[in-house]
Amino acid sequence: MTARFQLGEPVRVVDTGASGHVRTPRYIRGKRGVVERICGEFRKPEELAYGRYDGERESLYRVRFAQREVWPDYSGPADDTLDIEIYERWLERSEEGR
């Protein structure tokens, strides 16, 4: 399995509607950012959370978001950013990063 997204690529966080144990916080769903780094492939938290330690691996990315994209009323400097590690399944290509 190879990483679907490249370094610097604009992405958007999709809401997969997944329930149970997930690591993608609600506030970041639907937001646009850029791939800051490709972290590698890791087992899925949804499976690990139920004791399945030998499941498939999935690409994990560190995605950088502008704070003003995440919080519309953000009053700090415009170049403030927020990094979150997100699994590939939660990401789709976006035309613009911010």
Partner 1 sequence: MSGHHDLGGVRTDAPVPRAQHAILPWEMRVDALMQLLSDPQRPGGALMSVDELRRGIESLSADEYRSLGYYERWLQSLIAIMTEKGVVERAELERRFAEVERAHEREHAGGGER
User: For binding to partner 1 (CB under 8 A), which residues are involved?
Assistant: 15, 17-21, 25-28, 45, 48-51, 53, 71
- With beta carbons less than 8 A apart as the criterion, state whether 47 and 22 touch: no
Instruction: Give the shortest CB-75-to-partner 1 separation in angstroms.
Output: 15
Residue 24 token pair: 């993608």
Whether 64 contacts 82, CB under 8 Å? yes
H or E element at residue 68: helix 67-70
**Which CB sits closer to partner 1, 7 or 80?**
80
Nearer to partner 1, 54 or 95 (CB): 54
The smaller minimum CB distance to partner 1, of residues 28 and 34, is found at 28
